[in-house]
Chain A
């Protein structure tokens, strides 16, 4: 009666083993999930942080460097015989603060009693010396060094930018996977634009860890670990003597100064006023200082040279003159009567040629010249005629690098506006428009918008007699010491270089006998310049001046905007020519002008 029962038992034994082996085959060989889970369990990649690249000025002067900063870490489990009174003494804390620190520590999501966790951050070198002598009294506490940015000068904050912990949104957007929470990243200026060169390459050490997160030696004896590669040093185009001088001059005013070397497009100085001390946005008090600076009503973080869009004002007349010459609607000898019935003017002049019109900034002259330019009779319909003319005009003006971001090596550059037929179609909502609707663009008012950087580049273009190199702030990356390739290409305008000589002569006259002659003229150098007063009814005008010098073989082109400070001939012309002197001579020979600028009373 028990026949076959032995076999049944044997079959069940074998069957169970076979089922196990099939199940094992599924989880071990077919399903790859477990391999990954096992790695994320036990292998802890530890980042070896590279040293961030240094930043120097064009003469090799160190501007930004790294300085060690110290964090105090705690392994809670290892803390023994903790003397809280003594701790408060050494770390300059009150008992309440200490209690709060422990409370915060335990509340943190990543808190573990066996893993090193940050307890205090950003101890200064000063604290460190004191703490280092006494750290042995506190088992379970460790000091960890980290490097942060430090600055040799208080100048150039908006150009250089700052470095801080990566934000949540930036981290979410990052597709490269390079960054992790708590990483430091360039947030603005050169620090942000050249982040990939400055940051260097992180190394990774693969550590084994147990279930409590305690380290258990290296994975595969370090065979797949990588060393960090330090970031590349960066040489800026800035002349820090000039930069600091510019900030000194602009102190207490809102506006910008940009100085460019025309032949190379290198920015010698880029001042944004008001600015801030870069040392405020590093180290221990970063957070509180950042709140103060970003909430400041004067917007010190707003980089005016690239971000503040203004109407160009009278300096735009130079561009108008050259477009008119190029289109052959006028010659340098063409005269227009100073008819002030449509558009007002200033100064005692009646019937100027082109040079006289630029010298005295004659508004009716350019109104008349633009009318010829836009209404050439290409069509009998005055609306179509203006449209055709404006299209041509727009193309010429844009060739000066206006109406679009130039492409400087800084983030957040604005492009300004050069109106086109399409723009007016939108603005007039489909209703027809013709010259008489839009003529205020003739004198740089109306719809035109530029940023100060574009105007400095415009001055450089005239200095170069017809081309520019995109203004940039970095002339050398790393050992090779070359700028990015796009900062070596020449961009030619659509204007023949002969017409630039006309402009140069006129701008020389502006400084020697015209609107800029009182505060713009220098003894030994021929300066070519143009004043501008951008209207802001009912507030005072913005004072604007562009210039370059010397006239032959120019070394420096400048644009200066000083907000709400009246005529261009006053604040802006003074500052621009002081900058030229500083750069070419090393100091000004006109202390009374410097005094005038520093006193800052431009409106009477």
Chain B
């Protein structure tokens, strides 16, 4: 058992629990941190549930996960399919499957299931990264849960699956896909920021200078011109995407990112209030339970998606540094664990764990400080919520279970 990872996990969960209490703390009401009236009390139950889950994972035979990877994947996909049909709606998103008063979000468990399935596929005999057929299957494996989750209108969670491309990159896929994705995102943002005509002029200038500077072969000129026209096409289509494909609230989130002051009480509210809360913390913060912005509901979703605001407000820059160090420590440790696995299945799985954590971490904190659009995904182990905590716990502890038995497996590298 890798106790460094366990210690990091335990610290983050504990800090998260304290901050969930800080959010709901009411000095006039004096309710115990353990009270089930408060999110902190309920989160403690979820934490207790996590310990049971961890024990279950550790007791299970290590071969179970690889053997049943596709079964688990298929089962969770089936549940995802059920959600739009028999699911119940909570807070605008139909993402919950309810059994009595108890509800779970299958989308939170789809992450580890997909990670297992992808790892099994990539670890199977005869898998070659450079074969188109294999690549297509890999993208279908992440495309299915994305599509099903999009049907629940949970764009944030659906986007998480794009991070599997980083895992594929680690295993030999060309980085072109990621690079092109990043370029597309930059062009997308630029299109919103800068007048289209200036962009066209800019592209024209780059095209002409590229042709002039290089060798003037017809093929090269043709390729460059084609690329430039393609980019221009993307620019034109962005306008269409923003106004016609994105829903109004999604458009506003993008606009808020670019200029939150345009409508601080409207679509810019979340980002503005979140930055006020974090910014008012200063270097050392206002002190535990002394925050005003998060406590008095100025920041929305303050115990789930915007939990980081409480850290920023009550513990300042130093507190933020500490929490971010815990997360980066955990992610680097997971990569370290992944790299020391003896088989491809376990390594791929380990990278999937690290990348999923990273995606949540980057998007969640990035949105609270106004660097990313508001995409509602939780901060792993930190945000309030049972499904999220359990999903991430399963994700991490399957890796730890595999790590314990790493020397028992045959090398199939």
Contact = CB atoms under 8 A, between A and B. Distances in A.
A209 B366 CA distance: 28
A13 B369 contact: no
Contacts, number: 119
A428 interface: no
A224 interface: no
A556 B331 CA distance: 96
B27 interface: yes
Contact of B369 (A1, A20, A33, A41): A20
A43 B282 CA distance: 17
Interface in A11-43: 13-14, 16-17, 19-21, 23-25, 27-29, 31, 33-35, 37-39, 41-43
A217 interface: yes
Interface stretch (B138-146, B215-223, B313-321): B313-321
Contacts of A217: 27-28
Contacts of B276: 34, 37-38, 41
A33 B370 CA distance: 15
A17 B327 CA distance: 9
A6 interface: yes
A28 to B, nearest CB: 5
B172 A1 contact: yes
Contacts of B324: 17, 20-21
Contacts of A20: 320, 324, 365-366, 369, 371
A479 interface: no
Contacts of A39: 280
Contacts of A2: 170-172
B332 interface: yes
Interface in B121-164: none
Nearest to B365: A20
Contact of B358 (A13, A27, A210): A13
Contact of B335 (A6, A21, A27, A210): A6
Contacts of A33: 279
Nearest to A219: B292
A28 B335 contact: no
A331 to B, nearest CB: 85
A173 interface: no
Given A17-B327, A43-B292, A211-B298, A24 B320 contact: yes
A10 B298 contact: no
A80 interface: no
Interface in B338-380: 339, 351, 354-355, 358, 361-362, 365-366, 369-371
A5 B170 contact: yes
Contacts of A27: 275, 278-279, 369
A9 interface: yes
A351 to B, nearest CB: 90
Interface in B85-125: none
A28 B316 contact: yes
A34 B275 contact: yes
B235 interface: no
Contacts of A14: 328, 332
A329 interface: no
Contacts of A24: 278, 312, 317, 320, 369
Interface string B284-312: 00000000110111100000000000001
A29 B256 CA distance: 23
A439 to B, nearest CB: 74
A204 B298 CA distance: 24
Contacts of B316: 28
Given A6-B335, A20-B366, A35-B280, A41 B293 contact: yes
Q: Is the interface of A mostly helix, strand, loop or mixed?
A: helix
Q: Is the interface of B mostly helix, strand, loop or mixed?
A: helix
A61 interface: no
B166 interface: yes
A328 interface: no
Contacts of B172: 1-2
B44 interface: no
Given A1-B172, A217-B27, A38 B369 contact: no
Contacts of B170: 2, 5-6, 9
A475 to B, nearest CB: 50
Contacts of A16: 358, 361-362, 366
A216 interface: yes
A25 B282 CA distance: 8
A41 B292 contact: yes
Contacts of A41: 273, 276, 292-293, 296, 298
Contacts of B370: 23
Contacts of B282: 28-29, 35
Contacts of A211: 296-298
Contacts of A6: 170, 335, 339
Contacts of B166: 9
A568 B362 CA distance: 94
A21 B42 CA distance: 31
A23 B371 contact: yes
A295 to B, nearest CB: 43
A41 to B, nearest CB: 5
A10 B317 contact: no
Contacts of A42: 292-293, 296, 298
A25 B275 CA distance: 12
A34 B261 CA distance: 13
A212 interface: yes
B239 interface: no
B8 to A, nearest CB: 14
B26 interface: yes
A62 interface: no
Contacts of A5: 169-170
A24 B370 CA distance: 10
A38 B292 CA distance: 8
Contacts of A293: none
Contacts of A31: 279
A13 B276 CA distance: 26
A210 B297 contact: yes
A326 B380 CA distance: 100
A208 interface: yes
Contacts of A38: 276-277, 279-280, 292-293, 313
B281 interface: yes
Interface string B30-63: 0000000000000000000000000000000000
B291 to A, nearest CB: 9
B169 to A, nearest CB: 6
Interface string A192-212: 000000000000000011111
B330 to A, nearest CB: 10
A528 to B, nearest CB: 73
B283 interface: yes
A25 B169 contact: no
A604 to B, nearest CB: 75
Given A35-B282, A211-B296, A216-B26, 5 more contacts: A9-B169, A28-B281, A34-B278, A42-B293, A42-B298
Interface of B: 26-28, 166, 169-172, 273, 275-283, 292-293, 295-298, 312-313, 316-317, 320-321, 324, 327-328, 331-332, 335, 339, 351, 354-355, 358, 361-362, 365-366, 369-371
Interface pairs A-B: 4 shortest CB-CB: A34-B279, A38-B280, A210-B296, A42-B292
19 contacts: A1-B172, A5-B169, A6-B170, A9-B355, A13-B328, A16-B358, A20-B366, A21-B324, A28-B278, A28-B281, A28-B312, A28-B317, A35-B280, A37-B276, A38-B293, A41-B293, A41-B298, A212-B297, A216-B295
